Amino acid sequence: MSIQTIGIIGSGSWATAIAKMVTDNGHNINWWVRQAENIHYFQKRHHNPQYLRNAYFDVSKIQFSEDVKKVVAASDIIVIAVPSIYVENSLLGLDANLLKGKKVVSAVKGVIPKLNILLNQYLAAKFEFPLSDYYTLLGPSHAEEVAAEQLSYLTFSGINLESTNQIAAHFKNEYINTVVNNDIHGVQYASIVKNIFALGAGIAHGLEYGDNFLSVYIANAANEMQQLLAAIMVQNRQETDKVNYAASVYLGDLLVTCYSLHSRNRTFGNMIGKGYSVRAAELEMNMVAEGYNACKCIVAINEKLKAPIPIIDAIYKVLWEGVDPKKAFKEIEQILI
């Protein structure tokens, strides 16, 4: 495999974890960090000033830049690892020519707000970027565990399994195992809806439901996710019987995001369950909980799909219509099986 240069767009916790994986593997990277003061801090202290501060870097392997165009131009593989609400602003100034011939790896776990589309759909519409050069990098994993070098599993998806394996090889090491599949749309939607369900799990915890309820809730969430993903596969003319929804990128990611104390969506939901307003929870966390915006997007997308998503609908009403969480979860109690 030829040596390829990796560029990373984003400087949050997941982008930082990704940078650690590839630099630990000996790769030099180009890294877009939006604020100059953060670059200066990073160069001096060798760690991110805001996220995963215990992850130290050999900065001789990193070419930092505030200019996203420079990072894209200098890289063969572009990893986009920003929250979905920041995708459009992060890619401002790019044009189709800059992306031509590049490989794009999405580590975005959300829908582009207002547009209600996936990153690959946005890139196709905005830059005529081909799906054949698009890959996804998804969990189950937590940035904090990657930083601590605790064994984590990543799933890479792409149309061609051979080239997908080549992309995945840049990330595999002692503490990262990689899996590949070709369900590009399904894995992205799975990563989106699991955040919504995790937010609901947090609400349940905040309302002081116990482990029994949570286990039943997650089992039903898994079934709801499978029905939604099956409807999406039908829409995309994919064969629904070839996907193992018990695999790590589907069920595994749902479980870890609902249960883990590292999960920002679970934390966000816990605050809502305890009586915080959405705005107060956002200010308290100072981090993006993808499930909040994703909930609104998925409800809009499902207007055409017509998949049964009663749990997501109930969480949507809490977050976007001001319904009392206690009332919403009383309704959820009645539909769980």
The candidate with the shortest Cα–Cα distance to 282, out of 139, 83, 125, 90, is 83
Q: CATH number, domain at 41?
A: 3.40.50.720
Does one domain contain both 129 and 44? yes
The candidate with the shortest Cα–Cα distance to 16, out of 36, 40, 1, 38, is 38
Q: CATH number, domain at 296?
A: 1.10.1040.10
Does one domain contain both 329 and 243? yes
- Asked whether the predicted pLDDT for residue 331 surpasses 90, the reply is yes
Contact 170, 22 (CB under 8 A): yes
Does one domain contain both 172 and 219? no
Q: What pLDDT score does 93 carry?
A: 86
**Beta-ladder partners of 156:** 137, 180
Contact 201, 269 (CB under 8 A): yes
The candidate with the shortest Cα–Cα distance to 153, out of 186, 182, 175, is 175
Does one domain contain both 120 and 144? yes
**Beta-ladder partners of 212:** none
Last residue of a domain, one of 182, 211, 242: 182
203 falls within a domain: yes
Does one domain contain both 123 and 199? no
The candidate with the shortest Cα–Cα distance to 103, out of 64, 136, 76, is 76
Give how many domains the chain has, as a whole number. 2
Does one domain contain both 236 and 141? no
- Its domain, for residue 61, covers 6-182
Q: What pLDDT score does 233 carry?
A: 85
- Mean pLDDT (whole number) for 82-106: 95
Question: b/e string for 17-34 if b means 16 or more Cβ within 10 A?
Answer: bbbbbbbbeebebbbbbe
Does one domain contain both 119 and 168? yes
Contact 250, 193 (CB under 8 A): no
| Residue-wise pLDDT tens digits, 17-42 | 999 999 999 999 999 998 899 999 99
Does one domain contain both 178 and 194? no
* Residues above pLDDT 90, as percent of the chain: 89
Contact 318, 203 (CB under 8 A): yes
Q: CA-CA distance, 301 to 86, in Å (whole number)?
A: 20
70 falls within a domain: yes
**Mean model confidence pLDDT for the chain:** 94
202 falls within a domain: yes
More confident residue, 133 or 4: 133
Q: CA-CA distance, 63 to 252, in Å (whole number)?
A: 35
Q: Is the dihedral of CA 247, 253, 256, 262 positive or negative?
A: positive
Contact 197, 220 (CB under 8 A): no
211 falls within a domain: yes
Does one domain contain both 291 and 174? no
Last residue of a domain, one of 182, 208, 224: 182
Question: How does residue 139 score in pLDDT terms, banded at 50, 70 and 90?
Answer: confident
156 falls within a domain: yes
Q: CA-CA distance, 13 to 51, in Å (whole number)?
A: 5
- pTM for the model stands at 0.93
Does one domain contain both 172 and 217? no
1 falls within a domain: no
Retrieve residue 142's tokens. Answer: 């937590």
Burial class (CB in 10 A: 0-12, 13-18, 19+), 1: exposed
The length of the chain, given as a count of residues: 337
Q: What pLDDT score does 2 carry?
A: 58
Residue with tokens 């946005």: 122
> In degrees rounded to 5, what are phi and psi of residue 225?
-60, -45
Last residue of a domain, one of 182, 205, 232: 182
42 falls within a domain: yes
Q: What pLDDT score does 1 carry?
A: 47
| Residue-wise pLDDT tens digits, 215-271 | 999 999 999 999 999 998 888 776 656 788 999 999 999 999 999 988 999 999 999
Does one domain contain both 138 and 220? no
Query: Rounded to 5, what percent of the chain is helix, strand, coil?
Result: 55, 10, 30
| Tally of CB atoms within 10 A around 322 | 9
Does one domain contain both 165 and 238? no
Contact 158, 182 (CB under 8 A): yes
